[in-house]
């Protein structure tokens, strides 16, 4: 029996929007010198590409929260994210650092994994001592992210994932306020603390998230969304090396 189509945007459509914007962002970063110097409006185009792509991470963060709520096995979910975090590190470093391995800044799969781990702790410990153990573990994970691992989006990326999960079943009027504020929170960097104006456009992801209708939509293999990240980074790094080495 076919699923009744609901109003709104299905998950696979939102994920495709996110990966296309991510591709735009990463293309701009890898080919920054060529874009900026190629024609008169190159710098403006570079800024536009990077600004529009701020929408991508809140969408990925939101779907980690959705996955945490509906997954049949959160352990396997964390294992998949961990495996692709390791698999993506070499393409990530080649694309952005020109090195096979560089440990000062890690790929976004580590952020997604740490956010999911915090949700896992909340699920297991929320009924123990008013959830204080889960909050302490979450704070420790955020500190680890900022000071040691340094994944993309850092502690605020992790907080964003947890907040999306926390407000998922809230009344609609609460979500109308909480989702934009959660996206806005990405503009803050925890350590060293400062306000990152470049991330303000992440708030534009809020209407898309609020329009999510809870359905999958077009059929796509789930591994496509995992594999796209390391694959596109490897491709961008390879093409740039071949053309401009």
Q: What is the 3-state secondary structure (H, E, C) of 168-209?
A: CCCCHHHHHHHHHHHHHHCCEECCCCEECHHHHHHHHHHHHH
- Residues 6 or more apart whose CB falls under 8 angstroms from that of 138 comprise 118, 121, 122, 158, 162
Q: Which of 71, 73, 52 is nearest to 63 (CA)?
A: 71
**What's the rounded Cα separation, in Å, for the pair 168 and 218?**
23
Say if CB 95 and CB 236 are below 8 A apart.
yes
Say if CB 186 and CB 199 are below 8 A apart.
yes
Q: Which pair of structure tokens corresponds to residue 58?
A: 């809140």
Query: What is the predicted pLDDT for the residue at 214?
Result: 85
Query: What is the predicted pLDDT for the residue at 1?
Result: 45
**CA distances for 20 relative to 46, 123, 240, angstroms:** 16, 32, 19
**pLDDT tens column, 131-174:** 889 989 999 999 999 888 999 999 999 999 999 999 999 999 99
Say if CB 182 and CB 139 are below 8 A apart.
no
Name the pTM for this structure.
Answer: 0.93
**CA distances for 66 relative to 122, 164, 169, angstroms:** 15, 8, 11
**What's the rounded Cα separation, in Å, for the pair 111 and 152?**
6
Query: What is the predicted pLDDT for the residue at 4?
Result: 72
Say if CB 187 and CB 197 are below 8 A apart.
yes
**What's the rounded Cα separation, in Å, for the pair 131 and 107?**
29
Query: What is the predicted pLDDT for the residue at 91?
Result: 96
**CA distances for 122 relative to 42, 129, 150, 166, angstroms:** 46, 12, 22, 10
Averaged confidence pLDDT in the chain: 92
* Beta-carbon count within 10 A of 216 CB: 14
Query: What is the predicted pLDDT for the residue at 2?
Result: 52
Query: What is the predicted pLDDT for the residue at 3?
Result: 61
**What's the rounded Cα separation, in Å, for the pair 16 and 200?**
22
**What's the rounded Cα separation, in Å, for the pair 154 and 52?**
20
* Regions in the chain scoring below 70 on pLDDT: 1-3
């Amino acid at each position: 029996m076919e699923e009744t189509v609901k109003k709104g945007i299905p998950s696979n459509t939102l994920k495709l929007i996110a990966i296309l914007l991510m591709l735009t962002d990463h293309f701009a970063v890898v080919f920054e010198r060529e874009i900026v110097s190629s024609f008169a409006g190159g710098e403006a185009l570079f800024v536009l590409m990077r600004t529009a792509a701020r929408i991508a991470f809140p969408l990925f963060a939101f779907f980690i929260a959705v996955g945490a709520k509906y997954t049949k096995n959160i352990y396997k979910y964390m294992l998949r994210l961990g495996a692709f975090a390791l698999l993506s590190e070499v393409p990530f470093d080649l694309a952005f650092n020109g090195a096979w391995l560089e440990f000062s800044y890690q790929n976004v799969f580590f952020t997604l994994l740490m956010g999911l781990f915090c949700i896992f702790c909340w699920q297991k410990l929320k009924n123990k001592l008013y959830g204080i153990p889960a909050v302490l573990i979450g704070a420790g994970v955020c500190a680890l992210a900022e000071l040691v691992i340094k994944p993309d989006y850092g502690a605020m990326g992790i907080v964003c994932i947890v907040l999306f999960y926390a407000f998922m079943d809230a009344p609609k009027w609460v979500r109308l306020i909480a989702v934009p504020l959660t996206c806005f929170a990405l503009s803050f960097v925890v350590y060293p603390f400062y306000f990152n104006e470049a991330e303000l456009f992440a708030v534009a992801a809020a209407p898309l998230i609020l329009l999510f209708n809870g359905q999958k939509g077009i059929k796509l293999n789930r591994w496509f969304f995992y594999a796209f990240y390391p694959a596109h980074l490897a491709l961008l790094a390879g093409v740039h090396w071949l053309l401009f080495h």
